[in-house]
Amino acid sequence: MRSIILIIFFIPLASSALDELPDENSWLNDFVKQGLRSAYSKWTYTDPADYNREEIKVSYYDFESNSYHFEFSLKHTADWSVVTKNGTVDPPKMVKHYASSKVSQWTNFEGKGSYTENYERAIPNWLYFVGMDSLLVMLSQGKVDPAINKLLWSDEQKLIKKLYAAKKSTQAYIWNQFLFDHKDDIIGINTEYLIKNGESRKFDSRMTYEMYIENKQGDRLKFIPYSSSADYAIIDGVQVSINNRKAIYFNESLNKKLHRFSPEVFRNPQKVINSFLLALQEASGKVLERLSVEE
């Protein structure tokens, strides 16, 4: 599998913010210079229809020790008559999420049924966030790797070029994602198009989420996934913000790190590009070399 290009894009919150940030997004660099202390993510899912299900996943990372801690908890509560269908059946058998979870099977207390599962894991030398400070500094400086051949194989570039030359409106969702030179060769990613056709992720009403990195001064840098509403965007974005300042970055390394830390929220970058390749294959009617190799 070939390596993936780092695609970076930044936008200030408003024109007034641009005046305050003459050196790209210097506020992000200022945040990093204080030293990174920790990262925190909490994902909660509730579903009243599923025996009042409450599922919580919390991830914590300490930058100084490179230690990672994960906690999972699940609780179901419902009237015992509902759980047993008025005593006609046994409580439902629940499947453990983790092999070493601590489980408290269904119990009945004063007519209320309850089931819980808890799991914790600590990793002392978690390497996925190593280099996060350098990556954030690079993003604040707006550095871009323009080598498109690190993102697309040669046969994929040729097919996209052909689609662009034909300029069929039904295929625009493919070639609109790229920038071309006067020879119709791909020279980069059209981040303006990706932003226009994307949005900060809207979560299911049953789900809540927060993720941030805190520096040693106590400031918190928040992260929100930014992606296309369709399944054909070649790369996801990430919106980062502090107070009233925000930026959107398209960066494969950042996406990978955040996916490792909070996989329920940040999509797997490889699955994102595979979805794009399937869309390209369908639009072109040609079998892509990469997909045939992966099969």
Query: What is the pairing mode between strands 112-123 and 220-228?
Result: unpaired
Report yes or no: 13 and 244 within 8 Å, Cβ to Cβ. Answer: yes
d(CA 129, CA 137): 14
**Per-residue b or e along 206-242, where b marks 16 or more CB atoms closer than 10 Å to that residue's CB:** eeebebbbbbeeebbbebbbbbbeeebbbbbbbbbbb
Report yes or no: 94 and 117 within 8 Å, Cβ to Cβ. Answer: yes
Asked whether the predicted pLDDT for residue 6 surpasses 50, the reply is no
Tokens of 34: 């204080």
Phi, psi dihedrals of residue 204, rounded to the nearest 5°: -55, 140
Report yes or no: 209 and 42 within 8 Å, Cβ to Cβ. Answer: yes
d(CA 172, CA 166): 10
Instruction: Report the pLDDT value the prediction gives residue 191, as an integer from 0 to 100.
Output: 84
User: Of 199, 136, 164, nearest to 8 (Cα)?
Assistant: 136
28-64 residue pLDDT tens: 999 999 999 999 999 999 999 999 999 999 999 999 9
d(CA 127, CA 115): 35
- Model confidence, pTM: 0.85
User: Bridge partners of 78?
Assistant: 113
Q: What is the mean pLDDT of the segment spanning 19-28?
A: 63
Report yes or no: 66 and 135 within 8 Å, Cβ to Cβ. Answer: no
Phi, psi dihedrals of residue 290, rounded to the nearest 5°: -65, -45
Asked whether the predicted pLDDT for residue 98 surpasses 70, the reply is yes
Asked whether the predicted pLDDT for residue 23 surpasses 60, the reply is no
Please give the helix or strand (H or E) that residue 189 lies within, else none: strand 186-189
Asked whether the predicted pLDDT for residue 171 surpasses 70, the reply is yes
Residue 163 half-sphere exposure toward CB, CA atoms < 13 A: 26
For the chain, give the mean pLDDT.
Answer: 88
139-154 residue pLDDT tens: 998 865 546 877 899 9
d(CA 284, CA 158): 11
d(CA 190, CA 237): 12
Tokens of 271: 């699955």
Asked whether the predicted pLDDT for residue 1 surpasses 60, the reply is no
Asked whether the predicted pLDDT for residue 3 surpasses 50, the reply is no
Q: What is the mean pLDDT of the segment spanning 213-229?
A: 93
If you search the block for the tokens 């005046």, which residue do you land on?
19
Which is more confidently placed, 187 or 202? 187
Instruction: Report the pLDDT value the prediction gives residue 228, as an integer from 0 to 100.
Output: 73
User: Of 250, 108, 101, 247, nearest to 179 (Cα)?
Assistant: 250
Q: Between vectors from CA 288 to CA 283 and to CA 292, what angle results, nearest 5°?
A: 135
